[in-house]
Amino acid sequence: MTSIKSAAIIGGGVSGLAAGGLLARMGIKVRLFEANAKIGGCCSTTNVGGYTFNDGALYLALPNMLDRVFTKVGLDRPSVLPLRRITAPQTTVLPNGDKVTFGDGLRVTVEKKNGTVNEAALKKELNDMMKKWEPALRLLTEDILVNPLSFSRFLTKGWRHLPKFGGTVADELKRLFSDDSVRAAMSGVLLYTGLPPEKQPTISVLGLVTLFSDGFHLPEGGMGKVPEALSQALLARGGEIHLNTRVKKIVVKDGRARGLEVDGRGLVEADAVISTVSGMLTFGSLLDDADSPRKMKRMASEANLSHSAFSVQLGLRNKIDAPSHSHCFLPLMENQAEVFAPCDDGVKWLVYDAPTVTLPELAPAGGSVIEMYPPVQRDFPIDDWSDEKKEAILAKAVEALSRVHHLDIAVKRISSPKEFRSNLNLYRGAVYGLSPQVAPWNHFPHQTPIRGLYQTGQTTYPGYSVGRAATSGILTAEALMAD
Ligand SMILES: Cc1cc2nc3c(=O)[nH]c(=O)nc-3n(C[C@H](O)[C@H](O)[C@H](O)COP(=O)(O)OP(=O)(O)OC[C@H]3O[C@@H](n4cnc5c(N)ncnc54)[C@H](O)[C@@H]3O)c2cc1C
């Protein structure tokens, strides 16, 4: 058992809340400091004129990982966080007029403009995909990803799956599916990574397998209910959550983390510190340069960052007839890099989500919510995002959406990478922190070279997404308890 009696946590996203919940359950005095006026970070929602918009995450995958986190902190997930399965996850329209709809479970419907799809062949291909990849998914989500990072564990338990992992998602989908339109719809599910299929490592195909096995889900009331529910564990055991409280520095004395310098409060002493902000921020700015370990500083400065994003969110007075949660107009898989081409001359490939298809309560009665990420120039200087430039992109997005739906806009919100940086405190606006291409052993370690300082959250193993970041919080708390 640890001699640590008190812990200070920087950040109230799902990783900080999970770590704090478990530590408080183990009898440690926990104080959590969140710069924003609410908890949740990248998994929170904002109500604008009666419409609930996501601040970051749009849906939950890997529900079993989240269940495990809730169990660890002593909460019964189904009762504190009821989930609704997205039974119509995606409809994809291809340039040749084909339409591919993913329904509940393994239901895939293909409406061909010319001819018909070979249903028996498609069913077999789907089953073959699941047969090949589902055991790997189970191993990862029930064993590898919920335990501390261990290469030998992976080799011992996962050696059978190793031959599958070579190549890219594009290679794998070519092997798995014979119909061009089906393949394009499949790769479309994975474009959230910010990378075209030929740049995604094969293992990303598990994102697709997750959809067909466990499904995608929304918490009743919206994504902001996840941190709300998780925070119960911390608060019930006397933990403190301080909102609107920015941490300025991690205080290190004699090679050990001793506490935090907190805006408006001065020094807050603690036996241990957990930072949930990205490793780039922890080692690049929260630690004094002289305290920051050289190796960590180098990792921070050379980090391969994920993409930054631009979002358009609309609250509509009218109900739209969106066929699915996600509605995509996509090129064939081989050309999907085009989806990321900046939309300065108009949005060519329209992709948007309508969360009100699954949760009508996110809008006032009879209304709808649309969320869309129009592609923008990725290397555009973050400080140059002006209102004028944002409005110009909004106009392109609305123009594209109006080709498909009547839009009676009641409220809107536009977020450029600059807002993602300032509102969510994301390093350079990078939505997932590190790129999905970064291997787990290149994530920041939970136990840092500074005694008493722990790093957690989406730039640490097991990585980004709500379930994984929360799991990272649990693994970090367990590492701290074992010290
Ligand atoms: C646009 C977007 C879309 C996404 N879509 C999905 C999705 O659909 N599904 C999915 O599963 N995942 C998605 N993700 C990823 C997922 O939301 C994150 O991986 C996860 O929520 C990260 O949690 P975290 O606790 O590690 O970090 P964060 O949520 O970033 O929490 C860190 C917290 O620290 C606070 N903070 C920062 N600096 C300070 C400071 N100096 N002092 C005090 N507090 C500070 C921040 O305000 C924040 O609340 C998305 C993320 C984004 C941004």
Q: How far is the CA of 375 from the centre of ligand 1 (A)?
A: 21
pLDDT tens digits for 342-371?
Answer: 999 999 999 999 999 999 999 999 999 999
Residue 437, amino acid? Q
pLDDT tens digits for 79-102?
Answer: 999 999 999 999 999 999 999 999
Predicted local confidence at residue 158, as pLDDT: 92
- Whether pLDDT at 223 is above 90: yes
- What are the two backbone dihedrals, phi and then psi, of residue 461, each rounded to the nearest 5 degrees? -60, 140
Q: How far is the CA of 203 from the centre of ligand 1 (A)?
A: 23
Q: By alpha-carbon position, which residue is closest to atom 26 of ligand 1? A: 457
Predicted local confidence at residue 2, as pLDDT: 78
- Whether pLDDT at 148 is above 90: yes
* Residue of 22, 34, 42 with the most ligand 1 atoms within 8 Å of its CB, for mutation: 42
- Residue 266: left (phi > 0), alpha (psi -120 to 50), or beta? left
- Whether pLDDT at 396 is above 70: yes
| Ligand 1 lining (C-beta closer than 6 Å) | 10-16, 33-36, 41-43, 56-61, 246-247, 276-277, 309, 424-425, 431-432, 457-458, 464-466, 469
- Whether pLDDT at 124 is above 80: yes
Taking the model in full, what pTM does it have? 0.97
- Whether pLDDT at 1 is above 90: no
Q: By alpha-carbon position, which residue is closest to atom 35 of ligand 1? A: 11
Q: Nearest to residue 414, comparing CAs of 426, 404, 423?
A: 423
Which atom, in ligand 1's list, is nearest to the CA of 281? 38
Q: By alpha-carbon position, which residue is closest to atom 36 of ligand 1? A: 11
Q: How far is the CA of 59 from the centre of ligand 1 (A)?
A: 13
Predicted local confidence at residue 235, as pLDDT: 98
* Residue of 191, 277, 311 with the most ligand 1 atoms within 8 Å of its CB, for mutation: 277
CB atoms inside a 10 Å sphere around CB 443:
23
Q: How far is the CA of 351 from the centre of ligand 1 (A)?
A: 23
Which atom, in ligand 1's list, is nearest to the CA of 425? 37
Predicted local confidence at residue 225, as pLDDT: 98
In order of their start, the domains of the chain are 6-83+221-304+426-482 (3.50.50.60), 90-214 (no CATH), 311-415 (no CATH)
* Residue of 248, 425, 468 with the most ligand 1 atoms within 8 Å of its CB, for mutation: 425
pLDDT tens digits for 224-251?
Answer: 999 999 999 999 999 999 999 999 999 9
Q: Nearest to residue 133, comparing CAs of 96, 173, 183, 80?
A: 173
Beta partners for residue 252, in sequence order: 257
DSSP H/E element including 84: strand 83-85
Percent of the chain as helix, strand, coil, to the nearest 5: 40, 20, 40
Angle in degrees, CA 268, 276, 214, rounded to 5: 145
Q: Any idea which residue has 């790129």 for tokens?
A: 435
Q: How far is the CA of 362 from the centre of ligand 1 (A)?
A: 21
Share of the chain above pLDDT 70, in %: 100
Q: How far is the CA of 461 from the centre of ligand 1 (A)?
A: 15
Predicted local confidence at residue 4, as pLDDT: 96
- Whether pLDDT at 309 is above 90: yes
Which atom, in ligand 1's list, is nearest to the CA of 14? 25
Which atom, in ligand 1's list, is nearest to the CA of 41? 49
Summarize the confidence of residues 264-284 as an average pLDDT: 97
The dihedral built from the CA positions of residue 427, 430, 435 and 439, taken in this order, carries a sign that is positive
pLDDT tens digits for 441-452?
Answer: 999 999 999 999
What are the tokens at 471?
């799991």
The three-state secondary structure class of 64 is helix
